Amino acid sequence: MGVIETIRFNSLDGVDDARFLAVDQRFETQFLYQQPGFVRRFLTRADDGAWQSFVIWADRDHADRAFDSVGASEVGRERDDLIDEVTVTRECLTGFD
């Protein structure tokens, strides 16, 4: 199955959900879909309002390289500008079939 990367975060106060979702959709198609080892992504919303992204990668190296290169992408920076960086947590889980 590879690696499941989970990233939990809050958007900044005042960021409209529709705006965030539009930018996040562009981030997914223009950045994530282009990354080697990318398999699938799910974006969810917790009861407390936090966003949670689940990304399936071929392996941990691909997940780490993509995570480290978000800031080099224009759409990655645009999405990150909407996120409260203090709330970001990331975990990579090894999947088993």
- What would the pLDDT profile of 78-93 be if each residue is shown by its tens digit? 999 999 999 999 999 9
CATH topology of domain 2-95: Alpha-Beta Plaits (3.30.70)
> Strand runs (DSSP E) across the chain, as ranges?
2-11, 38-45, 51-57, 83-95
Question: Which residues, other chains included, contact 26 with Cβ-Cβ below 8 Å and sequence gap of 6+?
Answer: 75, 78, 79
CB 54 within 8 A of CB 4: yes
Domain coordinates of the chain in residue numbers? 2-95
pLDDT tens for each residue of 28-58: 999 999 999 999 999 999 999 999 999 999 9
pTM across the whole model: 0.91
